[in-house]
């Protein structure tokens, strides 16, 4: 849509100039270049920069609430924020920011890219290095991506699950537990760090006291790889989300937010 709008604006400008010149050159008026026919090119000259401004990266998406037509059906990847910078552009007093991403594609390949988007001032503090966001990208053009605005949480979760399996952070069996489980809570009773690190994630061995739906409890052990920002979420005494199957209480899955704060 962005390209179509810009082409339409340029075509309108060309048409306006053609009409102005044709009327001026064929007029018998004393001042053929001055008259009502001046209005059309003035409108066109005013309209073109407005169209280009409002179809800039992130602007149209902010106005429509949807990804651009170019990226709407793009592949779903996981973008880790590396840097954020202001572009100097605002829309309704909301700033446009440039986000530098480290993107992991559906095939596991990693590439660096950028996105521009309008971000409400109240949400700027949430956009920080290390935050993971679902992004849409085009395999033939990876220099630019768009933050996914489709609201398709299932597709985003599928991309996250696939990435976690590739890195060895989880297994298909554990994901199956998370899908068919009983969701409950557990308390961290013990924590040890054997020293293994994968992709910047440390392996933690946890002892949990899990509460059953009837209020009784059982103790179990589990392992999880976590980034440094999430280690504080599993300190001894913390309450964590837990998933398990009634027939196998020794196999549990922790449920922690992907972008958990380090505080």
The angle, 0 to 180 degrees and rounded to 10, between the axes of the packed helices 153-167 and 172-180 is: 150
Q: Tell me which H or E stretch contains 65.
A: none
CATH 2.40.50 for domain 73-156: yes
| Calpha distance 215→213 (Å, rounded) | 5
Dihedral Cα 145, 167, 155, 244, nearest 10 deg: -150
Residue 187 DSSP class: E
Closest CA to 64 of 53, 73, 54: 54
Count the neighbouring beta carbons within 10 Å of the beta carbon of residue 180.
9
Asked which of 56-60, 79-83, 140-144, 162-166 is least confident by mean pLDDT, the reply is 56-60
Residue 7: pLDDT band by 50, 70, 90 thresholds?
A: confident
The per-residue pLDDT for 255 is: 81
Beta strands (DSSP E) in the chain are: 75-91, 94-104, 110-118, 132-138, 141-147, 182-192, 197-198, 201-211, 217-226, 239-245, 248-255
Residue 227: pLDDT band by 50, 70, 90 thresholds?
A: confident
Task: Compute the mean pLDDT over every residue in the chain, rounded to the nearest whole number.
Answer: 84
The per-residue pLDDT for 57 is: 55
The residue behind tokens 């293994």 is 196
Residue 93 DSSP class: T
The stretch 112-129 carries a mean pLDDT of 88
Question: What's this model's pTM, rounded to 2 decimal places?
Answer: 0.59
Closest CA to 257 of 238, 236, 241: 241
The angle, 0 to 180 degrees and rounded to 10, between the axes of the packed helices 39-54 and 2-26 is: 170
Q: Under CATH, which architecture does the 168-255 domain have? A: Beta Barrel (2.40)
């Amino acid at each position: 849509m962005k390209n179509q709008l810009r082409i339409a604006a340029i075509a309108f400008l060309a048409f306006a100039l053609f009409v102005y010149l044709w009327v001026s050159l064929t007029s018998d008026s004393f001042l053929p270049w001055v008259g009502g026919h001046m209005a059309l090119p003035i409108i066109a000259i005013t309209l073109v920069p407005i169209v280009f401004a409002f179809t800039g990266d992130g602007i149209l998406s902010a106005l429509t609430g949807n990804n651009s037509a170019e990226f709407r059906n793009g592949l779903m990847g996981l973008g880790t924020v590396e840097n954020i910078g202001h572009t100097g552009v605002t829309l309704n007093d909301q700033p446009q920011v440039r986000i530098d991403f480290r993107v992991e594609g559906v095939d596991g390949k990693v590439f660096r890219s950028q996105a521009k988007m309008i971000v409400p001032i109240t949400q700027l503090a949430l956009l920080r290095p290390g935050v993971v966001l679902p992004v849409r990208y085009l395999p033939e053009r990876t220099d630019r991506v768009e933050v996914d605005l489709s609201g398709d949480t299932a597709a985003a979760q599928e991309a996250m699950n696939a990435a976690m399996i590739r890195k060895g952070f989880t297994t298909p069996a554990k994901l199956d537990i998370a899908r068919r489980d009983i969701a409950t809570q557990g308390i961290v009773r013990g924590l040890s760090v054997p020293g293994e690190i994968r992709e910047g994630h440390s392996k933690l061995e946890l002892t949990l006291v899990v509460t059953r739906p009837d209020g009784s409890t059982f103790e179990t052990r589990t392992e999880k790889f976590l980034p440094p920002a999430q280690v504080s979420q599993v300190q001894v005494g913390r309450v964590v989300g837990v998933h398990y199957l009634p027939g196998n209480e020794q196999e549990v899955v922790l449920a922690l937010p992907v972008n958990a704060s380090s505080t």
